[in-house]
Amino acid sequence: MTPFSARAGKAAQATGHAAILVFFVTFLAFPFAWMVITTFKTTQDLHNVANNPYLFNDPPTLDHLRTLFADTAFVQWLANTAMVGAAVVIITLALAIPAGYALSRMTGALGQSLGVGIFLTYLVPPTILFIPFARIIAALGLQDSLWSLVLVYPSFTVPFSIWLLMGFFKAIPRDIEDAAMIDGLSRFGAFLRVVMPISLAGILTSIIFTFTLVTQEFVYGVIFITASSNYTVSVGVPTFLVRGDVYFSGSMMGACLIASVPIAIIYNFFVDRFVAGFTGGAVK
């Protein structure tokens, strides 16, 4: 190959690469860009079909956000989500840390099959469980209470966190604990005093994912909760703000943005660990 054609080939390759990225970024991020534009446009501008929808034909406005915060229960929904999220995180850690550690240290067939069993429960979707849960929650008298969500959400956060933490604990050499045990700690003491402190990164990761899963959950929320003041943000925005009335589109898009983008940014730092959790260490 002559130097010229090599350079031309490289340029073509770079252009192709850029074109692929532009296409995918446009497809995947466009709805969010569209949310930003819609949030700050005046209603009049949004509803004038003659206007170019990509441009601000009227100056940007904060009216929709004002409506969202002043006239809807949006702040309450955020607070509910945070409360449920915090409670579910505590339950999840209390159950998943000991279990993940035990599974990481158990040798033999029992430990392995329990690990696989817990992984398989993650495959049982809310779609199969919501029907019986509707009656269980009613029998427990928890309808329309945020406690129903606190009770049920760990059913999907615990299996995933066990799986994630198990991978973390496996990466910690047993020698460290054995050394601590020679120094007089029990096996459990070594877990508390030695393994836990160096696993903080793993625990933080499972906190983030538990919280994200709680924020994303919709099915149980829509079934258990009926009073709009008890909604979480994922349920409140689609059920309460959507009334087939276009008037709300600006506020709705603002709500979607506020509830999703901050989490997305935090999550981004942890995504590699998330993938490791999904693939069960198939990738080193």
Within 210-239, the residues that bind other proteins by CB under 8 A are 212, 215-216, 218-219, 222-223, 233-235, 237-238
Interacting stretch for other proteins, rule CB under 8 A, among 58-66, 67-75, 152-160, 170-178? 152-160
Q: How far is the CB of 284 from other proteins (least distance, A)?
A: 6
Binding to other proteins in span 243-272, by CB under 8 A = 246, 249, 252-253, 255-256, 259-261, 263-265, 267-268, 271-272
Q: Among residues 87, 88, 93, 207, which is the contact residue for other proteins, using CB under 8 A? A: 93
Binding other proteins (rule: CB under 8 A), the pick from 67, 72, 88, 115 is 115
Least Å distance, CB 6 to other proteins, is 14
DSSP tag of 110: H
Q: Whole-angstrom Cα distance, residue 168 to residue 109?
A: 20
With CA atoms as reference, report the closest residue to 255 among 123, 20, 71, 128: 71
- Kindly state the number of chain residues that form the binding site for other proteins, as judged by CB under 8 A: 110
DSSP 3-state of 222: helix
Among 7, 11, 183, 278, binds other proteins (CB under 8 A): 278
Binding to other proteins, residues 1-30 (CB under 8 A): 17, 20-21, 24-25, 27-30
**266 vs 25, 134, 137, 271, 275, CA distance in Å?**
19, 33, 33, 9, 15
Binder among 34, 44, 66, 140 for other proteins (CB under 8 A): 34
Separation between Cα atoms, residue 124 and residue 128, nearest integer Å: 7
Nearer to other proteins, 86 or 102 (CB): 102
Among 57, 76, 121, 145, the residue binding other proteins under the rule CB under 8 A is 121
Alpha helices by DSSP H, listed for the chain, are 3-39, 43-46, 63-71, 74-105, 109-121, 126-139, 146-152, 154-170, 174-182, 187-190, 196-198, 200-216, 219-224, 233-236, 249-268, 271-279
